[in-house]
Amino acid sequence: MLPPFRLAPFFSKRIWGFEDLEPWFHLQSPGDPIGEAWLTGDQCVIETGPLAGKTLGDSASQYGEQLLGSGNDQRGFPLLIKVLFPKEKLSVQVHPDDAMAQKYGEPRGKTECWYALDAQPGSAVALGLKSGTDPGEVRRAIEENRLEEHLNWVPVHRGEMIFVDAGTVHAIGPGLVILETQQNSDLTYRMYDYGRPRELHLEKSLEAMRMSTKAGPVAPKQEGGHTVLMDARYFRVERYGLESADAITKFAATAYSPSMQILFLAGGQAKITSDGADPVCLERCQVAVVPAGASAWRLSAETPLELMRILPR
């Protein structure tokens, strides 16, 4: 049986990112701003346990059901978890749904959700288009460099969850640190970039765009001593608060069992112990994967902590 293991992040350079990721990550990158920390990317390297040194993508292919569970479609690791650090407005984008992605030879589309780990006053995201905007006006506004006037900007505060289903015209503004949970796909069509000289994917973004979607803030729900932040088609995101010396003995996965689980530490320090394996220590912004076939395991709080559990659907 595979025990729980910790992953090393992969840092992705973006022109809209930061050169210093403190206090979230101990990383400085002079001259090469980092916009994204990929926590469950296929290229992320396993740091602990018998799979140490292997990439997550290779391990998902090799161990299949033992790692991912019987309900997974076996097309690789299902979810990509990221932390985003926008220093300025991201381009306006649209992601395709599964049907459109498969039309162009890709395995899956990209539905996602954003949890605000931090939000400065005035932070906002663009979600969809203002009422009354039609596809023809969207094209004209892009060509005339004025699409911003048609975007529906929504204020965001720390601790809020936002759902962004495929087909939603969207953008993220500065002042936020976002935990993003998404289908494991990097399909992004750039619709508009405020006049910056970067490539646009106009025709595909217009094809992927839906004028009405389910995107928007999601109200948290209390359930059995924890908070359900998101329960959507592709993923479920839960939040747990533990005091020092508290522990959880093998989360009950209920309807999702047997299923792989992703544990993200939003704050504090934790330790995972399991039969026949070395302890796995977690600090802020680190991720552990609990394979579907993992034997009895226990998560203990070394300090008061905020823990996110993410389950594929």
Of the residues 6, 108, 190, 309, only one is catalytic, namely: 190
pLDDT in tens, 155-178: 999 999 999 999 999 999 999 999
Same fold, 5-218 and 221-312: yes
pLDDT in tens, 205-262: 999 999 999 999 999 999 988 999 999 999 999 999 988 777 776 665 444 455 889 9
User: Are residues 113 and 180 in contact, defined by beta-carbon separation less than 8 angstroms?
Assistant: yes
pLDDT at 258: 58
Q: 288: which residues sit within 8 A by CB, 6+ positions away?
A: 4, 5, 6, 7, 262, 263, 272, 280, 282
Query: CATH second-level architecture of 5-218?
Result: Sandwich (2.60)
Of the chain, the percentage scoring pLDDT greater than 70 comes to 95
Would you call 67 exposed, middle or buried from its count of C-beta atoms within 10 A (0-12, 13-18, 19+)? Answer: buried
pLDDT at 256: 45
- Number of helices (H) and strands (E), helices first, in the chain? 4, 23
pLDDT in tens, 177-206: 999 999 999 899 999 999 888 899 999 999
Q: Using CA atoms, how far apart are residues 65 and 259, in angstroms rounded to an integer?
A: 9
Q: Mind giving me the DSSP string for 42-67?
A: TTPBB-SSTTTTSBHHHHHHHHHHHH
Q: Which two tokens stand for residue 277?
A: 């394996």
pLDDT at 302: 86
pLDDT at 196: 87
- The DSSP letter of residue 288 is E
Homologous superfamily, domain 221-312 = Jelly Rolls (2.60.120.10)
Of the chain, the percentage scoring pLDDT greater than 90 comes to 81
Q: Using CA atoms, how far apart are residues 286 and 178, in angstroms rounded to an integer?
A: 14
Catalytic annotation on 190?
yes
pLDDT at 255: 42
Q: Is the pLDDT of residue 264 over 60?
A: yes
Single-letter code of the amino acid located at 145? N
DSSP-H helix ranges across the chain? 56-68, 98-103, 135-143, 202-208
pTM equals: 0.94
Q: Domain map of the chain by residue range?
A: 5-218, 221-312
pLDDT in tens, 1-23: 899 999 999 999 999 999 999 99
Kindly tell me the sign of the dihedral angle through the C-alpha atoms of 63, 69, 70, 74.
Answer: negative
Q: Is the pLDDT of residue 295 over 70?
A: yes
pLDDT in tens, 72-97: 655 689 999 999 999 999 999 999 99
